[in-house]
C-alpha cells in the first residue's frame, strides 16, 4: 500500500536536476568491490585534550548532502561516480588500544577481501593514522605519507601512550613507513617543539612550514613531494589533519590557532594529489563537531574529499 | 563478506539487557497494520512567528534513543510493544495550504487502509491540528479533543489565514468538532485575549486555566474531562502543545513564558488518558529544536509519548 | 502618498482581537500625567561582577510584546490601561557616581512635575535602588521597602564604593528609610555572610529566608509585611532583584544559584502588593540579558509587572 | 516639560563629531522623493531550507549604527547624504506567492510615484529577486542584472514552486530580463549542478566562477561586465546573495561553504558598480541572522551598501 | 618590593565581611591531617556517551567562589571550617583501566596516611565510584552506600567494560559492598531496564523511585535508609550522580531527562546525611561542564557539598 | 608525604619534550628584575559600549598554555627566555578614573624600581593606553607610539570622559607624546569620522589606512615607521588594538567589522618591531572574551606576543 505524500522520515528536499554529493554514497552490502569506499573511525578517547572527533564521521557524511557533485571550475561532474559507505569501525568503550587495533584489523581485512579499495578514512583523532596506515601498507607494500598538519605528531610514548600526538612516531619507529617517505606540510610556528623538529629531521622527514606554504606555490610543493616519493614507494596515503587550516576557516578542531593554511591551498593540493594514480588513500582527522560553528569544519572536510575525487576523476573512472 | 567490527554508520552503544524506546520503532513497509503508528508532520511555515518546529519529528524520534521502555514506577515494560514509523508527510516548499491539506489527506488515507491505526502525530506547529483532527474524525466519527496548551488558538482567519494560532477555530467553525467537545487545559495568564476567551466560552468549550491546574489535582481534571466527553463522542484525540509546560522545563517552544505547567502534571495526565480506550490519538506540536537547549523539549515530548503508551499498556496489548 | 503593504520597519504581527501588553505602552511626550510610567535606569557599571543589566530596560520592554493584557485566571483585562514610557535615564560613560545621582535627580524631577506618578523602574543593577528610593521618598515622605532578593545587599562601602551590593546599607545609613521599614524576602543559604545578617538584624530589618518562603504561604508573608508597614510609612516601594528566583527559572541574573524562589510565588506576591493602594512604586533589577537564555528572565520580569498591574487594577482604575 | 537626563529608550552613545551611517537614514513620511531609499522584503518562508532571512532587514539596519559615514581610504564622507527608509513590505503569514507578489506591487508602486528612486532592497531570501526585478524593470525598461552568488538559482519550478532557488529562471522564463543580460559572479564548485550550468549557458548568461574571481582582478571583471551590458540595457540592478562570500567571512547564510569570495573583492566590485550611473538598484539577500555569529554577516551587508554609496557619491550627489 | 594596586592575576573581588566558600579551601601541603579533604577524579573517558565530566573538579571548585559559608536558614556559619584540597588524581591519557585503578590507589594511600580523612570526591563520571568506594572500604571496613541517581548503574561488563554504567555491579560482584547495603534513590521511569531492576532486586538493593520521592517526605526516606544501614555497616558513603536532578535544574549532565528530583529535596537529603557521624564520605559525579548552561550544574554541586558540610557542622567540629 | 598520582588541581598534560609558552611565565615575587614582564590591566568599565575586555588578561595568559615556544619558521626557540608575570592591577569597582590612574601609578612604580623592565601590558580596553604610555614615558623620556587599530581613538572628552575612544587624544593633548610621534596603522573605512581624521592630520600623526596595508608590504610600512621615529624619540611603545584584525579572524572584539587586517600581516609587523632595540613596550587591548568564539582572539593575542618575543630574541638575550 502506498500513501501519497508519505516519505521516509527526515527526507531532504529533492531537485530532479541536482545530484547531491550524498547521492553518490551507497551503503555497502558486503559484496566484493573496487574503488572509493568511505569508512569511519570514530575514536577520540585517544586524544590528549578533550575531543569529540568521534562524531566527525557522522557530520562529514551529513555535510555531503549540502553540496553537489559538479565542479564548475573544471567542468567535471562526479554524478556517475559511486562511493561505497562501509560504515564505522565499532570502538571499544574503555579499551583505547583495542579500539586502535580494530582500526588496523578492519582496514586490513577490507583490503584482504577487496584489494582495489580506495579508502577514505574519516577520523576520529589523529591516533587512527598509525593503525590506518599500518593496514594500508600491509595491503600496498612500501607506503609514503603526505601529511597536512600544523603539528609533527611525533611525541614520545611515555607521556600517555599512543595518542593523537604520536601517530607518525609510531609509523616511523615500527618501520611501517620510513621517515624519508613522510612529508609534512603546514607545520606551524609556536605549535611544535624543537626536540620534535630535530626528531623528524633526523629521521629524514621532509617538512614544509607555513612559511614555505605562504612563499611557494602549493602546486610546486605538491609536484616536488610527488617527485620525491613516486619512485621510492608503492603507494601514497594522504593524511589531512584539519587543524592545518587557519582557525578562522576551520574553527572546529581541538588544537586551533592563527597562522594556518587557507582552504583554497588545501583544496588545490588534494585535487592535485587525487590526480596521481599512486595516491591510493585519504584520511581526514581532528574535526571535532562539538566545538565547531555550523559544521563549518565538516563542510571543509567534505570539500577536501570532493576535490580529491575531482582529481581522481581526471585520470581514472571512479 | 562480513568484516569484524564494521557496523552501520552512527550506530549507538548497545547493552544487551536494555531495550531502548527507539528499539520499539520499526519503519513501516506499507503492509496493513493496527495499533500505534508514528507519523511526522514537519510543517512550520504556517507559524505566525519564525519557527523551526518542522525539525521536531526528527529530534523527538532521536530522543527515543535516550530512554528505555521500562517504567519502574509502575513496573510496566513496553519492550514487547511495536510502534510503526510511517515516516513524514512531504510538505510543499511554497504552498502552505497545500501542505496542511496533505496532512489531512495522508492521515485519512492511512486510516482508510488501516482503520485500527492509533496515530501519534509529531508536529510541526499547531496548524496541523486542524487537518489532523479532520482526518481523524473522518475515520472515527464524532471526536472530542483534549488540548494541553497555554493558548486557546482560536484566532481570526483574516489576519494571516490558517496559522498555528487558528486550528481550534477551524475545527469548530467547520463543524469538524463541536465546541462542547473541546477541553482546553493549561490556559495561561497574559497569553490570550478576552475576545478569544469569550469566543470559546460562547462555543461551549471547557477551559481549565493554570490556576485550575495549580489548585486541583490533575487526575481529577482528567476524570472530569473524560466524564464530560465519553458518552458524547466516538473517540478522543489528545493534543499537546508543548508550550503548556513552563518555559524552564520546555525552553524550546516558540511562545515560551513563565507560569506554565509542571512536566509531572502533564505526564500524569497523558498516562491517565492513555489508559482510556476511547482515547485513540495523540499529537505533539510546537517543539522548535532550533531554539531548544540540549533537545530538552524533545526529551519531554518523548516522555509524553512513553507515558501515554504506558497508560495504553495498562488496558490493552500494544 | 500611501503605498499598499508598506509598513514601519520591523512591525510585528497584528491580530485585531488581541491587545498585547506592549500596546499599553505609549512614549511619553512630556505632558503632565498621573498613573503608571515606566522608566529605564540602564546602569550596570556599578556592579561588582561583570554585568550587562544595562540592557534589561530594552529586553523587558520587548518582552511585553510577547504577552497580552488579559488575565484569564482572574478575568481582568488591562487592555484599557495606559502605561507611559518615560524613556531611559542617560548614563555617564565613565562617572558611575554621577550616573547614580542622575537616577535620583531624574526620578525626583519627574515626581516634582507629576506627583501622582506610579513609577515602574527598570534597572540596571541593584545599585540604582538607593537613588531611586531616595527620589521616591523625597516625593512620598516616609517610605517602606519590600525587597525580593537572595541577598541582603548591605555590604560595606570601603570595598568598592556604592555598588549593586550596597543599596540597602545606603538607604539605612543615610536615613532615607529606617531599617524597621525594610522587609527582605527570599534571602538564601550560602549567599550572604553572617556579619551582614547581624547588620540587618541590628537595624531592625525583617528577614524572610527561603526556608520561610518554602514553609509559609506567600500571601501570609505579604499580609504580615503589609500589616507591619502600613501604619508606619506613607508609601511602599517594591524592589524585585530577579535573582530571588531559582536559577532554573531566572537564568539571566549575574548571581545565579539553586535554592531560590518559584516564579509563581513571586507573581502572587507582587499581585497582592499591587492591590494595596499604599504600594506606589516597583522596580526590577539584576536582569542581565547578555547571559540569559531566550530572554527568559526578561519574560519573567514582564510577568512581574503585569501581575503587579493586575493587582492595581483590582483596586483602582489605571 | 523637559526632564534632564531623560532620553528616548535604548538611545545609543552620541559623539558630536561622528556621523554614524544610521544617522543618514530617515523614516520616509510618504512625500515624493528621489534618490536612495531602503526597503525591506522580510520573506524567507519561500526558502528551500529553514531560513530566518526575514530578520535581515532589521539586523542590517541595526548594523548601520555600528559604522560611520566616512571612507578614509578615498576621503569621501557620506555625512551629507540622505537615505530614506521606506519601511518593510508586509508579508502574508501563510500565502507565500502573495507575499512575493506584494514585493512586486510595492516596488512598482513606489517607482510609479517616485520614478527617481534608487532602491536598496533588503531581503529576505533570494526569491524576492524575481518580483523585485520585475517591479524595477517595469519602471526602468530593459534591465541587466549583475548577480553575486555561489549559485545559479535557476532551479525547476515543479520541485517546490518559486523558491529562493529559482529567481533567475523566473526572470528569464518570463522574459523580464534576457539571459544575455544576466552576469553571475562567484559561482562555486560543488554548489551547482551541470544541468543548471547548461541551462544558463544556453540562455546566454555570463558566468564568472570563483576560479575566475581568484585568477582575474575583480575590477577587470566589473569593467568587462559593464562593457557587455551598458549599451544593451536601460538600467542595471545589482543582486548580492551574501553566500557568495566565504563561510568564514559570512557565516550567517543558509547555504554556507568554503571556497567563496573575499569580502574585499565584493566591496571593490560594488564600489565600482556604484560609480556607474546606469546602475540604479541594489539588493542584498540570504542573510540569516538567526544562525549568524555576532551579526557579522549583517555587518558585511552594511559595508556592501556603504561601498555602493561611496561609489555613487563619486559620480553624483546623493 | 611591594607595588601598590598590584595583585595576583585573576584575583576576585574581596569584601572584608564575607567569607566565601572558596576561602575555606586550602591546598594540601602533604602534612598529616584529619577532616574534610576534597580530591578530584577527572576521568570521563570511561563514559558510554561522550562526556566532559573530567572538567567538573575544576568548575565545582570555581563555583565555591560564588557562594558564601553562611547558612542563614539554620544560622550556621562554616567560616571557621577548613577544607583541604588534595588536588586531582592524574589520569592516564589512553589507559582507562589504569586511570580507574589510580583512583583506588590514591584514595587508599591517602587514607593509609590519614585515617581520619573525610573525603569529598569530585568526579569525573560514575565509573570512579567503584575504585573510590573500594579505597574507602579498605580503610573503613564494611561500607554502605546511599546513591542518588536516575539509574541503577549495574550494566553488564561485556558491553564495553567497566564504564559509568557499571560501578554498582562492580561493587556488588567483587563483594566490596553487599547489595543489602546499597540504597538507590531517585531511580526514574524510562531510564532503566527491567533486567537491571531485577538484578538489584535479587541482590537485596533498596530502591526508591522518583514516585517514592514525590510521594514520601525526603527526610523520612533518609531516616529509614539510615535505620537500615547503621547497625550493619561500619561507615556510609554518599554518592550523588547529579543526573538524579531534573534536567531543568541540572542541565549539565550527559544523561538528562524530565521527571527528576528537585534540588531542594537533594539538599535536604545530604544535609540530613551530613549530620550522621557514620556518614564519612561524599562524591559527586556526572557533571559535564562542557554541555552545561552558565555552570548551573556545578553550582548545584557546590551547594550539595555545602549542605553536607552544614549537616556535619551540626554534629561535629569541622 | 607524597601520594602517587596526586597532582595540583587542573594540571595540564605534560610532554617532557615540549616547552609550552606558559612555561616561560613565572609569577613575580617582588624581587628586582630586568626584561620582559607581563602586567594585566583588567579595565573595561571605561568602554563606550558594553565590554568584557577586563577578562582578557586571564584568557590571554591561558592561551599561552596552548602554544609552544618554538618558531620553526625561523628556528628560534624561546624555551630559555623568562617572562615575569607581575599580576594584575587592582581596579576600583565604581571609580573609573581612579582605575585609570592606578594603571599609570603602577606602571610608573614598577619602572621606578626596575628601570630595565620591558612591559607587555594586557588590557583591558583601549582607555588604558593613556595611563600606560604616561607611566612608560615618565620612565623612558620621549616616546613614540606605533598603534595598530581600526580607529583613530581621538574622540572628544565631553561626550563621556576618558573612554576607550579617547586615549590618543589624551596622549597628544597632555603632551605625553607628540602627534608627530604617533603612527596609526590599519585605520579602516566607515569606522572613523572625518573630523577626527582632520584632527590627527593636524597633529602630525602618520596614518596608514587598510588600503595602504593592502597595497604596500607590511615590512616596508614598518621600516618607514621606524625610520621616522628612531632619531626623534627615546623609546617606542607598540599598541595593538585587536580590532585592527578582520572580524573573521578576531571575532572577539567589541567593535568588529569587515575589511580588516590579516593576522599574518600583524605577526610580521610585531616580529619586525620586536627586533628593534628601541621598541621597549607592547600592549594588547580590546579583546573581549565574553563575545569571542573558542578564545580565538586571545589565541591571536598570544601569538602577537610570541612573534614580538621572537623578534626580540633575534637581537638580544631575553
Ligand atoms: Ca595537528
Ligand atoms: Ca595531527
Ligand atoms: Ca500554545
Ligand atoms: Ca497552540
Ligand atoms: Ca541579589
Ligand atoms: Ca540585590
Ligand atoms: Ca542565490
Ligand atoms: Ca546562493
Ligand atoms: Ca545516572
Ligand atoms: Ca550513575
Ligand atoms: Ca579600535
Ligand atoms: Ca582602539
Q: What is the dihedral of CA D157, D161, D166, D167, to 10 degrees?
A: 120
Give the CA distances from residue F300 to residues B242, D63, F186, F251, in Å, rounded to whole numbers and listed in that order.
44, 25, 16, 10
Q: How far is the CA of E211 from the centre of ligand 3 (A)?
A: 29
- Suggest the residue from B2, B3, B42, B113 to mutate for an interface test with chain A (most A CBs closer than 10 A): B3
Task: Classify domain B22-315 by CATH architecture.
Answer: 3-Layer(aba) Sandwich (3.40)
Give the CA distances from residue D222 to residues D76, D218, D270, D315, in Å, rounded to whole numbers and listed in that order.
22, 6, 9, 17
Distance CA F11, CA F20 (A): 13
Contact yes or no for A34/A110 (Cβ under 8 A) = no
Give the phi and the psi of residue C198 in degrees, each rounded to 5: -60, -40
What class has domain C21-315?
Answer: alpha beta
Distance CA E264, CA E184 (A): 18
**Among candidate residues B241, B248, B246, the one with its CA nearest the CA of residue B288:** B241
DSSP state letters, E111-174? HHH-TTEEEEEEESSGGGHHHHHHHHHHHHSSEEEEEE-SS-----STTTSS-TT-HHHHHHHT
Count CB atoms within 10 A of the CB of residue B312: 25
Distance CA C240, CA E211 (A): 35
ipTM above 0.95, yes or no: yes
Beta strands in chain C (DSSP E): 6-7, 25-27, 35-41, 70-71, 76-77, 83-89, 117-123, 143-148, 182-187, 206-209, 235-241, 279-285
Task: Give the nearest partner residue to A257 out of F15, F19, F66, using CB atoms.
Answer: F66
What is the grid cell recorded at B225? Answer: 474531562
- Cell 561488563 maps to which residue? E157
For D58-114, the pLDDT digits (tens) are: 999 999 999 999 999 999 999 999 999 999 999 999 999 999 999 999 999 999 999
- Suggest the residue from C189, C291, C296 to mutate for an interface test with chain E (most E CBs closer than 10 A): C189
Residue-level pLDDT at F318: 79
Distance CA F93, CA F99 (A): 8
Identify residues of A whose CB sits under 8 angstroms from chain D CBs.
Answer: 13-19, 21, 66-75, 77, 79, 248-249, 263-264, 267, 293-294, 296, 299-300, 303, 306-307, 310
Contact yes or no for E216/B264 (Cβ under 8 A) = no
**Among candidate residues E62, E79, E71, the one with its CA nearest the CA of residue E19:** E79
CATH 3.30.70.270, domain E25-315, yes or no: no
Residue-level pLDDT at E210: 98
- Cell 521616591 maps to which residue? C136
For residue C274, the SS3 value is helix
Average pLDDT on F252-262 reads 98
Task: Give the nearest partner residue to E52 out of A48, A50, A159, using CB atoms.
Answer: A50
For residue C138, the SS3 value is helix
Average pLDDT on F157-173 reads 97
By C-alpha distance, the chain D residue nearest F194 is D70
Residue-level pLDDT at D304: 98
Task: Give the nearest partner residue to E303 out of C197, C209, C259, using CB atoms.
Answer: C259
| DSSP letter assigned to residue F157 | S
Contact yes or no for E102/E92 (Cβ under 8 A) = yes
Distance CA B43, CA B131 (A): 12
Distance CA B257, CA B260 (A): 7
Average pLDDT on F296-304 reads 98
For C200-237, the pLDDT digits (tens) are: 999 999 999 999 999 999 999 999 999 999 999 999 99
What is the grid cell recorded at B236? Answer: 478522543
Q: How far is A58 from chain E (nearest CA, A)?
A: 14
In sequence order, the 6+-apart residues with CB closer than 8 A to the CB of D55 are B50, D42, D288, D289, D290
Q: How far is D222 from chain C (nearest CA, A)?
A: 33
Distance CA D277, CA B183 (A): 65
**Among candidate residues A282, A281, A283, A276, the one with its CA nearest the CA of residue A316:** A276
Contact yes or no for C15/C23 (Cβ under 8 A) = no
Contact yes or no for A145/A239 (Cβ under 8 A) = yes
- In this structure, the strands spanning D70-71 and F235-241 are unpaired
SS3 per residue for A285-311: ECCCHHHCCCCHHHHHHHHHHHHHHHH
Residue-level pLDDT at B318: 79
Contact yes or no for C305/C266 (Cβ under 8 A) = no
Chain B residues with CB inside 8 Å of E210's CB? 73
Q: Where are chain C's structural domains?
A: 21-315
Distance CA B40, CA B123 (A): 6
| DSSP letter assigned to residue D194 | H
What is the grid cell recorded at A37? Answer: 569506499
What is the grid cell recorded at C3? Answer: 503605498
For A223-259, the pLDDT digits (tens) are: 999 999 999 999 999 999 999 999 999 999 999 999 9
For residue A253, the SS3 value is coil
What sign has the CA pseudo-torsion E157, E158, E160, E165?
negative
Distance CA E61, CA B288 (A): 35
- When pLDDT is cut at 50, 70 and 90, the band that residue D2 belongs to is confident
Distance CA B32, CA A249 (A): 51
**Ordered mean pLDDT values, 10 residues apiece, chain A (318 residues):** 91 96 96 97 98 98 98 97 97 98 98 98 98 98 98 97 98 98 98 98 98 98 98 98 98 98 98 98 98 98 98 88
Helix (H) or strand (E) holding F108: helix F96-113
Average pLDDT on E116-134 reads 98
What is the grid cell recorded at E314? Answer: 551540626
For C130-184, the pLDDT digits (tens) are: 999 999 999 999 999 999 999 999 999 999 999 999 999 999 999 999 999 999 9
Distance CA B182, CA C163 (A): 54
What is the grid cell recorded at A170? Answer: 609510531
Nearest-Å Rg of the Cα atoms of chain C is: 19
Residue-level pLDDT at E315: 85
For F116-147, the pLDDT digits (tens) are: 999 999 999 999 999 999 999 999 999 999 99
Longest dimension (CA), chain F: 69
Exposure class string for A173-188: b at 16+ Cβ within 10 A, else e:
eeebbbbbbbbbbbbb
Give the phi and the psi of residue C192 in degrees, each rounded to 5: -145, 170
- The chains found to touch F (3+ Cβ pairs under 8 angstroms) are A, C, D, E
Identify residues of D whose CB sits under 8 angstroms from chain B CBs.
Answer: 45-46, 48, 50, 52, 54-55, 92-97, 159-163, 290
- When pLDDT is cut at 50, 70 and 90, the band that residue B7 belongs to is very high
Mean pLDDT for chain C overall: 97
Residue-level pLDDT at D88: 98
Strand partners, F313: none
Distinct helix (H) and strand (E) counts, chain E: 9, 12
Contact yes or no for F66/F49 (Cβ under 8 A) = no
Alpha helix (H) residue ranges in B52-143: 56-64, 96-113, 129-140
Q: How far is D43 from chain F (nearest CA, A)?
A: 26
For residue A218, the SS3 value is helix
Task: Give the nearest partner residue to E94 out of A50, A54, A160, using CB atoms.
Answer: A160
For D288-298, the pLDDT digits (tens) are: 999 999 999 99
- When pLDDT is cut at 50, 70 and 90, the band that residue E71 belongs to is very high
CA angle A270, A276, A281 (to 5 degrees): 65
Distance CA B278, CA A226 (A): 74
- Cell 610608573 maps to which residue? F108
For D192-223, the pLDDT digits (tens) are: 999 999 999 999 999 999 999 999 999 999 99
Give the CA distances from residue E21 to residues D99, E62, F204, in Å, rounded to whole numbers and listed in that order.
59, 10, 56
For F21-62, the pLDDT digits (tens) are: 999 999 999 999 999 999 999 999 999 999 999 999 999 999
Amino acid at each position: 500500500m502506498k500513501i501519497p505524500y508519505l516519505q521516509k522520515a527526515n527526507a531532504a528536499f529533492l531537485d530532479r536536476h541536482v545530484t547531491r554529493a550524498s547521492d553518490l554514497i551507497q551503503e555497502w552490502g558486503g559484496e566484493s568491490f573496487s574503488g572509493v569506499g568511505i569508512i569511519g573511525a570514530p575514536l577520540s578517547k585517544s586524544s590528549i585534550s578533550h575531543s569529540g572527533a568521534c562524531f566527525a564521521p557522522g557530520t562529514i557524511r551529513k555535510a555531503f548532502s549540502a553540496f553537489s557533485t559538479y565542479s564548475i571550475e573544471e567542468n567535471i561532474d562526479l554524478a556517475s561516480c559511486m562511493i561505497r559507505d562501509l560504515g564505522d569501525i565499532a570502538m571499544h568503550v574503555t579499551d583505547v588500544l583495542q579500539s586502535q587495533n580494530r582500526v588496523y584489523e578492519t582496514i586490513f581485512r577490507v583490503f584482504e577481501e577487496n584489494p582495489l579499495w580506495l579508502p577514505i578514512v574519516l577520523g576520529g583523532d589523529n591516533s587512527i593514522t598509525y593503525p590506518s596506515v599500518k593496514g594500508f601498507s600491509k595491503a600496498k607494500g612500501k607506503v609514503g605519507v603526505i601529511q597536512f598538519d600544523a603539528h609533527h605528531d611525533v611525541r614520545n610514548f611515555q607521556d600517555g601512550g599512543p595518542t593523537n600526538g604520536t601517530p607518525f612516531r609510531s609509523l616511523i619507529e615500527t618501520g611501517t613507513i620510513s621517515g624519508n617517505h613522510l612529508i609534512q606540510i603546514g607545520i606551524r610556528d609556536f605549535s611544535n617543539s624543537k626536540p620534535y623538529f630535530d626528531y623528524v629531521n633526523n629521521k629524514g622527514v621532509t617538512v614544509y612550514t607555513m612559511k614555505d606554504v605562504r612563499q611557494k606555490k602549493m602546486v610546486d610543493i605538491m609536484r616536488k613531494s610527488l617527485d620525491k616519493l613516486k619512485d621510492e614507494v608503492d603507494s601514497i596515503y594522504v593524511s589531512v589533519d584539519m587543524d592545518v587550516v587557519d582557525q578562522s576557516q576551520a574553527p572546529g578542531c581541538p588544537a586551533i590557532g592563527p597562522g594556518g593554511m587557507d582552504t583554497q591551498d588545501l583544496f588545490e593540493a588534494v585535487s592535485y594529489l587525487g590526480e596521481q594514480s599512486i595516491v591510493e588513500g585519504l584520511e581526514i582527522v581532528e574535526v571535532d563537531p562539538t566545538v565547531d560553528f555550523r559544521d563549518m569544519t565538516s563542510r571543509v572536510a567534505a570539500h577536501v574529499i570532493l576535490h580529491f575525487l575531482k582529481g581522481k576523476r581526471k585520470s581514472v573512472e571512479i
